């Protein structure tokens, strides 16, 4: 028996900087699964994908709720988003000793 499963959830939030939409996707086909998080804000769309572990696959097949399923993927998305735009060089801030 082959197990196929797909779930997409979308959450929208209004922030002071504008609308922010978070979309989560779980997809299982042919015994392999992925989990994806996409965040769309005023800077663009940021997403990341990770494979499902064996225990997560087992819980999905048994219809068990996992509250922290997307936690690590969301951290990766936020880390990628901030990494390239928020780096500030600190040249000339060193004090000389006299």
Per-residue model confidence as pLDDT tens digits over 31-77: 899 999 999 988 889 999 999 999 999 999 999 999 999 999 988 88
Q: Which two tokens stand for residue 51?
A: 């494979």
The whole-number pLDDT of residue 13 equals 87
Chain-centre distance of CA 49, in angstroms? 7
Whole-Å CA distances, 98 to 11, 15, 44, 93, 95: 57, 49, 48, 16, 9
Which pTM was predicted? 0.72
Q: What integer pLDDT is reported at residue 82 of this predicted model?
A: 52
pLDDT for residue 97 = 62
Q: What is the mean pLDDT of residues 15-44?
A: 91
């Amino acid at each position: 028996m082959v197990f196929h499963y797909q779930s997409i959830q979308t959450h929208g939030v209004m922030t002071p900087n504008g609308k922010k939409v978070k979309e989560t996707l779980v997809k299982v086909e042919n015994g392999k699964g992925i989990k994806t998080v996409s965040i769309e804000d005023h800077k663009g769309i940021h997403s990341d994908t990770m494979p499902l572990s064996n225990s997560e696959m087992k819980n999905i097949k048994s219809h068990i709720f996992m509250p922290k399923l997307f936690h690590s993927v969301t951290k990766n998305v936020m880390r990628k988003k901030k990494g390239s735009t928020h780096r500030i060089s600190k040249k000339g801030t060193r004090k000389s000793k006299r």
